[in-house]
Amino acid sequence: MDIIFYTRDQCSLCVDAKSILTLLQNDYPIHIIEKDIESNEEWTEKYGLMIPVIEIDGEIVQSGIVDLLILEEKVKSKLL
């Protein structure tokens, strides 16, 4: 399963979210696709105030402060 992770440099919440995604990657068959919003004007406009943003199957499942337990439940439900 692909997880799209919208991020940017100098973002402490993004660092925390990446750590959570890496933990989940150890337990679940997920592939993290990082997208730096600074590389695309549309992403910057859309996600600039929301990052980090985690998207699964076209659905934003978490943004801002990412919670491990909530994200893990989303991942598990999508894998079923």
The residue ranges of every structural domain in the chain are 2-79
Q: What is the amino acid identity at position 54?
A: I
Q: What percent of the chain has pLDDT over 90?
A: 96
Alpha helices in the chain (DSSP H): 12-27, 41-47, 68-79
Which of 55, 32, 31 is CA-nearest to residue 43? 55
- Strand intervals (E) in the chain: 2-7, 31-36, 53-56, 59-63
The structure's pTM equals: 0.94
Q: Of the candidates 69, 60, 68, 65, which has an alpha carbon nearest to the alpha carbon of residue 35?
A: 60
CATH for 2-79 is: 3.40.30.10
Kindly report the average pLDDT of the chain as a whole number: 96
Residue with tokens 């692909």: 2
pLDDT above 90 for 80: no
Q: How confident is the model at residue 62 (pLDDT cuts 50, 70, 90)?
A: very high
